[in-house]
Structure 1
């Protein structure tokens, strides 16, 4: 059976984490996450005819990337957003179609794509979505996964992120469009931690961080089997934890284990040793629902050794 696994939220970042670094410590240019609104587009009917899919392929899409650049001091960053038909490798290979380019700065980059990237065409006039479907061994069972690739550069640094946009249709009863995951509040050392309100931290740590219980927001959903029968599944969100100082342990929580059990979301943030003087620290928590949905929250603190 093919289903919308966590690879739909595939995010690859080149030249951003060295072997000596902690994955949760963000100290240079990174692309931490990409969110698409909507996270999935449903066609009214299931067809391999591009004409029948035009309403779904033309639906506008909002592309938002989380791009910290803590050492950049507010510098300009060049970006290029492209699409291609390559779904089996880490980055786009062969012919690409440019969707947008421009200049941004560290933080969040939002690009409005109207019409949506599903209507992008190669030089021969063929739709990218149609080429993806033709090269798909499953012929669209589980959806059409349209690659979107972001390249961001500043000075000598260049990073890439790749996200798969999901176009789907109701192949079996019970299939409904995916809803974006939404994280609630965070708790730092037993007290609520609100966005835009820096917390004061001091001492060697570690400091415990917990998300509020979001189990009720994890969706039940249906995917088709190879026999085109409905298969019931349930989301098990994964959280990735990042900070501009120190690091989290573990840096990723949640998801389902081999036995189907769900991982817990208890983490500790530890400051580095040898810090001199107070430090302003940014934190990000990225949630992925395993079906292409992705979101994040941002927090801040003032740390004093």
Structure 2
């Protein structure tokens, strides 16, 4: 690892080991699943691209790992978890025992799983830093980013889920690069009324009900990445929000982002309750991603009646 890093990106992939109904929608939360994963910091960033003890220490900093576990029909049942780091980004279950390290394990229940981890410090069986193995296995030798898979394996009853997040390690390869800041939604609105945390607004009728995010445009970062000729390229974030609920569905299920022309979409969606449903409290989640690996979420509740 002569040069510590090149450039980087981050990807979140969620997968379940189960059969899925073709008519099932990601926005309909009726079974056990992982809705989101975040790390704080969103990336581990060295102050220099040289392989110095200081840089390696910075990449070995402790971070907070969070996973949003939802289990609406589980009635508080125990959820067993294992969190692994491994070298191969294509290994979505960290199945190669020779190039993986366990970061945490235990039992929890539905909600936020919060773990302190140090992925940049873990070593594999030959007592080498796993980060070095990640670099060796990268076909682009860091040009697309030094990305270490973090794989969460969770089981609840006979349901099993693997959720992978690629942890990014960077350094300032070109002038203007800086650490990513976690995207955080400033708030949500329902039918254009502020939707405060802990509130339980009354919704009635067949809908649709308009749900939006408070304006995030001032929070979307302008950032710099290396170009193919190692020149500085300036880009602008376009956050995406995925919407989820325990009843009915959203249209669209994902808002925001940008098209090929750079035009950003609005964070505006409509929720419709399920036909024939009875009055009940409904839980909603809005999971935001900045396209660079940063992610967070908000949860809200409402009481709906036909």
Normalization by structure 2: what TM-score?
Answer: 0.93
1:23 is paired with a residue whose SS is coil
Following TM superposition, by how much is the alpha carbon of 1:291 offset from its aligned partner in structure 2, in angstroms?
0.6
Distance 1:149 1:16, change over 3 A: farther
* Offset of residue 12 of structure 1: 3.3
How far is 1:16 from its partner?
7.6
Query: 1: CA distance between counterparts of 2:15 and 2:214?
Result: 28
C-alpha distance in 1 between matches for 2:137 and 2:192? 51
1:159 corresponds, among 158, 161, 165, to 161
Partners of 1:51 and 1:226 in 2: how far apart? Answer: 28
How far 1:50 sits from its partner (Å)?
7.8
Asked if structure 2 preserves the Cα contact closer than 8 Å seen for 1:185 and 1:192, the reply is yes
Q: Residues of 1 paired with 2:124 and 2:37: CA distance?
A: 24
SS of the residue corresponding to residue 286 of structure 1 reads strand
Q: How many angstroms does 1:297 deviate by?
A: 0.3
1:109-128 matches, cutoff 5 A:
109-113=113-117, 116-128=118-130
Structure 1 contact 4–290 (Cα < 8 Å) conserved: no
Gap regions ≥5 residues in structure 2: 1-5
**Shift of residue 17 of structure 1?**
4.5
Q: Tell me, yes or no, if the aligned pair for 1:142 and 1:223 is still in contact at 8 Å.
A: no
Question: Equivalent of 1:215, from 211, 214, 217?
Answer: 217
Match of 2:179 in 1: 177
- Cα distance in 1 for residues equivalent to 2:202 and 2:115: 35
Q: Which residue of 22, 39, 49 maps to 1:19?
A: 22
Q: 1:267 to 1:153 in 2, by over 3 A?
A: same
Residue 232 (structure 1) aligned to one of 209, 222, 234 = 234
> Is the 8 Å Cα contact of residues 148 and 163 (structure 1) preserved in structure 2?
yes
Residue of 200, 203, 214 corresponding to 2:202? 200
Contact kept? 1:16, 1:29, Cα under 8 Å: no
**Preserved CA contact (<8 Å) 1:150 1:160:** yes
Partner SS for 1:31: strand
Aligned pairs for 1:3-152 within 5 A: 4-5=8-9, 8-15=11-18, 17-47=20-50, 49=51, 51=53, 53-95=55-97, 96-113=100-117, 116-152=118-154
Aligned counterparts of 2:16 and 2:170: Cα–Cα separation in 1: 27
Deviation at 1:138, TM superposition (A): 2.3
User: What is the match of residue 290 of structure 1?
Assistant: 291
The alignment yields a C-alpha RMSD, in angstroms, of 1.7
Q: CA separation in 2, counterparts of 1:40 and 1:192?
A: 32
* Alpha-carbon distance between aligned partners in 1 of 2:263 and 2:135, rounded to the nearest angstrom: 34
SS at 1:75's partner residue?
coil
1:17 and 1:23 in contact (8 A); partners too: no
Aligned residues: 299
Per-residue deviation, 1:92? 2.6
